Amino acid sequence: MLNISIVDDETIFINNLINKISEFCEKMEMECTIDKYSNGYDLLENYKKYHIIFLDIDMPMINGIKVCEKINKNKGVADIPYIIFLTSKDNMVFKALKQKPYTFLRKSELYDNVFDCISLIFSKLKNISNDYIIKSGRDFILLNLDDILYLEKEKNYVFFYSEQLAYKERSTMDEKYEDLNNKGFIRIHIGCIVNAKHISTFETNRVILDCGKEFIISKKYKDIAKKNYYDWLVKEYA
């Protein structure tokens, strides 16, 4: 699923672009969702759930360059979200280059280039199988699964733990395992799933992660956890 947002204060333009992108994605059999925002502040509250952001440079309240700067500070060196600047004013391009967007598209030539741009990004994303979106409170957060050490259940929430951060989502362990069991995650008891990439020691009754965290493997999950771990090792290192 490709998650796209378009940020522009011109209603007719944004609706036309949504229709064109929807038609293209359907034709190419690419699943997508497209959200629209009329200002950058609303995007900043939700940007983490998107793979691609089409961002108009020239907007009131806060311009696209400032919005991109704030996103870049938060996402660091990550590629996602890919930011594509939209502009009808060439004199703003040079200033925007400092924010290192994925590319620029001139509004006057938009439909000559936008579909190739989406296709290229979609191809990149197909090779990145470790991104995962969770809904934490009112926010959608795009996680890199390589960074997740383990998941634990607490009441009605599942917690995703990395070395420094924890994110929670109102969900069930069964739902999360269904999503993640083919991505190198192993369920070791009813309330815990671990990332095989971070297992340093796997024994009959326990696993130790590379962060030093230790978990007991329950009797119910012992055999299937062992099988899944060795299957992952074969797939990963064969």
Amino acid identity for residue 176 in this structure = K
Residue 38 CB neighbour total at 10 angstroms: 18
pLDDT of residue 37: 96
The full set of domain ranges for the chain reads: 2-126, 147-237
CB atoms within 10 A of CB 17: 22
Within 8 A by CB and 6+ apart from 124, the residues are: 79
198 DSSP 8-state letter: G
**Element containing residue 116 per DSSP (H, E):** helix 110-126
CA nearest to 124, candidates 180, 184, 82, 86: 82
Reduced to 3 states (helix: H, G, I; strand: E, B; else coil), residue 99 is helix
pLDDT at position 129 over 60 = no
pLDDT in tens, 179-238: 899 899 999 999 999 999 999 999 999 999 999 999 999 999 999 999 999 999 998 876
Closest Cα partner for 53 from 142, 136, 126, 132? Answer: 142
Kind of pairing between the strands at 166-170 and 157-161: antiparallel
DSSP for residue 217: P
CA–CA gap between residue 80 and residue 78 (Å, rounded): 6
Q: What is the pLDDT of residues 2-37, one digit of tens each?
A: 889 999 999 999 999 999 999 998 888 888 899 999
Cα 95 from chain centre: 28
Contact indicator for 210, 201 with CB cutoff of 8 Å: no
Superfamily of domain 2-126 in CATH is Response regulator (3.40.50.2300)
Query: pLDDT tens for residues 89-107?
Result: 666 665 666 667 778 888 8
Specify the CATH architecture of the domain 147-237.
Beta Barrel (2.40)
Does the structure show a pLDDT above 90 at 59?
no
Cα–Cα dist 167/178, whole Å: 19
Peptide bond into 81 cis (omega under 30): yes
CA-to-CA distance for 79 and 60, rounded, in angstroms?
A: 26
Q: If you search the block for the tokens 């815990």, which residue do you land on?
A: 192
Spatial CA neighbour of 128 closest among 164, 189, 82: 82
Relative orientation angle of helices 11-27 and 110-126, to the nearest 10 degrees: 50
